[in-house]
Amino acid sequence: MKPGSETEISSVTLDLIGMTCANCALRIEKGLKKIPGVTDVRVNFAMETAKVELSEAVSEEILLDKVDSLGYRGLVHQDVLENKEAEKAHEAEFKKLKVRLTFSAVLSLPLLASMIGHFGSNMFSEYFNFLMNPWLQMFLAAPVQFWIGAPFYKGAWRSLKNGGANMDVLVSLGTSAAFFFSLYQSFRSFGVHIHGQLPLYYETSAVLITLILFGKFLEHVAKGKSSKAIQSLAGLQPKTANIIRGDELQEIPLAAVRVGDLLLVKSGETIPVDGSVEEGVSTVDESMLTGESIPVEKKEGSVLFGGSLNRNGVLKLRASKVGKDTLLAGIIRVVREAQGSRAPIQRIADRISGVFVPIVVIAAFVTFLVWFFGIQPGNVAGALEKAIAVLVIACPCALGLATPVSILAGSGRAAAEGILFRTAEALEIAHKVDTIVFDKTGTLTYGKPVLNDFSVLDPAQKFFLLGLAASAEQNSEHPLSKAVVEEAKRLGLSLSIPENFETIPGGGIFASVQGKRILLGTDLLLRDKGVVLDSDLLQLKSEKEKEGNTVVHLSVDGVHSAILSLSDSIKESASAAIERLKSFGMEVYMITGDNSRTAHAVAQKCGIEHVLAEVLPEGKADEIRKLRAEGKIVAMTGDGINDAPALAVADLGISMGTGTDVAMESSDVVVMNGDLSTIPDVLEISRKTVYNIRQNLFWALVYNALGIPIAAFGFLAPWLAGGAMAFSSVSVVLNALRLQKKAISVNERADR
């Protein structure tokens, strides 16, 4: 593609109000996709959101008008920490639901009591005879049907008007058939006032609506519990902050804090924004952000994150990130996006839901015909009862909830563990991974090497040569360079300003120091520059590499003068994490730019058998492609800028939260605490979530596959069908909530 011809893709997230089932979500998707400039739409029924991808400028008003025309209400999603409008709208809807449910239950209970008459004469029937009057029943059932049930009619009309059919259609058809047939019978038999002598179904229509509303009430409560992790994260940020202005301390609203402000955080207070310590010493609990339970010591220069808790001591904080730019806001945003995205496995439910309602209506009509003309010829009441049961039992709510509520619960629990899945697809693909590749520096090791030996040909020149090497390295940001500079400063060596500095990717550096040409780097670099390598230094280099050291050559004015041996400590959790990954049946690789001897020495200490050594930064992505070409499902774990291409190419990119922003943006999963023992948890949470989704889909499908024929054969009364339908949705949500208990916790890892 030529420069300038690439289409910029933007997105808008909408909060949706008024959806009743998965078919509503599909209808909104189809409607929004018809708008010119909209390239993709992903509606999440459980989260009640829509993410709209745009290839050109489309106003938010156009999107909202389209949602309104489909019969729903849309709001533009606000900042993750300030999304009050949608929250208030959902609360208002929930209050209306509770009012409707209360009135519906009060009016339906007498009708439910009248059903005792169906069981013949018994000790209680004489007390309920007055309830069997058809006009009293109509008086009780009519408000339930036409006032409390009005939203079902509205939803059904909007659905049919837009060329679709949803749960509202099934509920409206079933309850209307029961009510109007009963009304017909009431007018037809003025002289009969005993319910037992009339085939009336007023109680069926009223109790069905009540049960459906009760199911929605339970579903709302359960979904609220499944998003508890995100709600608790959003509640971490304090409402105010203490700002230092001159000699005064003022309490101001958090929204008024700006980058550069100096804030005071007292002992026991929550840190308001991201920044660095200017003064003070304390320990800070960051477990709510990273999942790491051990408090972190903070002193001058230490980084602080908004939402973490200052345990003891007083800290002066210089704000560096506020509002939506803080780490806390980023975590919530990533998890919300993951919960709002669609996992590939959900396509199964989407395809079924798209054709399900018309098939059910046909099945109910056929059931009526078979009973009326075949099994019980002429019995309208009996045939209608079976058809109503089919309509009600088949509502596809459970099918629509099966995937999103599991994603909601799984990703929310993972966030509480310090694991951020950026998309639902990442949460699903992780369980398929069979090969995992670790970057060495900063991932398996701490990424803070130290210079532990400096070998020279002329001992009298040792400190002079080290001063030259450190002077040349001052302009480099590489961890090895920093280690050389820090050691020289520790020894009190005087450093000069380098000139003509040049970084040679994958090789080393060149600079002029005190008029001398300094070259630091690999064997290959020195040979390419015409430097003859000293045999004694080469022999010593080989020995150092076998011990796991990284060795750098020093050339001064074209003469091989010294070698620098640097080592990086392996993380304590590396061996245990890799052993656990192997127990999952994983193939574990290590990839590094280090030479083969050093790489194998480090890999052996970690328990890794497969080593990809001497790989240049640009070659890491190629190595990942080779593994994928062999049919492997590959996860790449890294933390540096040079890992970003490999993270993007892998089936699953896992970045350490202690690494660079580029690596985090290129990855699919972020491990906030940088703890290697959390990597197996990424795969385990994925496995449990996908298994939970499959359970939900299986039981939702089995429920409908068995429920429809049972209802059609006359073994299920309509009111029982309504109760079973409501319970199916609630059971799916409750099953998803089990993920919050089953996910691996930090304490469980520590116990291992």
Which residues does the annotation mark as catalytic?
Answer: 439
User: Phi and psi dihedrals of 369, rounded to 5?
Assistant: -65, -45
The sign one gets for the Cα dihedral 118, 123, 128, 130 is positive
What CA–CA distance (Å, rounded) separates 451 from 457? 18
What CA–CA distance (Å, rounded) separates 76 from 97? 23
- Characterize the bridge pairing of strands 587-591 and 435-439: parallel
Give the helix ranges, DSSP H, for 130-268. 134-143, 150-161, 167-188, 202-226, 228-234
Give the tokens for residue 116: 């005792």
The sign one gets for the Cα dihedral 260, 266, 267, 273 is negative
Among all chains, which residue has been given the structure tokens 């449990």?
688
Among all chains, which residue has been given the structure tokens 């803070």?
448
User: Phi and psi dihedrals of 251, rounded to 5?
Assistant: -95, 120
Among all chains, which residue has been given the structure tokens 């890799």?
578
- Position 680: which residue type? P
Q: Are 399 and 598 in contact (CB under 8 A)?
A: no
Pick from 353, 363, 450, 485: which is nearest to 20 by CA? 353
Pick from 115, 182, 178, 171: which is nearest to 148 by CA? 171
Helix (H) or strand (E) holding 197: none
SS3 377: coil
What CA–CA distance (Å, rounded) separates 249 from 411? 40
What CA–CA distance (Å, rounded) separates 678 from 745? 10
Q: Count how many residues are written for the chain.
A: 752
Beta-carbon count within 10 A of 624 CB: 27
Sequence-distant (≥ 6) Cβ neighbours of residue 187 within 8 angstroms: none
Pick from 329, 352, 326, 342: which is nearest to 408 by CA? 342
- Characterize the bridge pairing of strands 296-298 and 262-265: unpaired
Query: What does the radius of gyration of the chain's CA atoms come to, in whole angstroms?
Result: 34
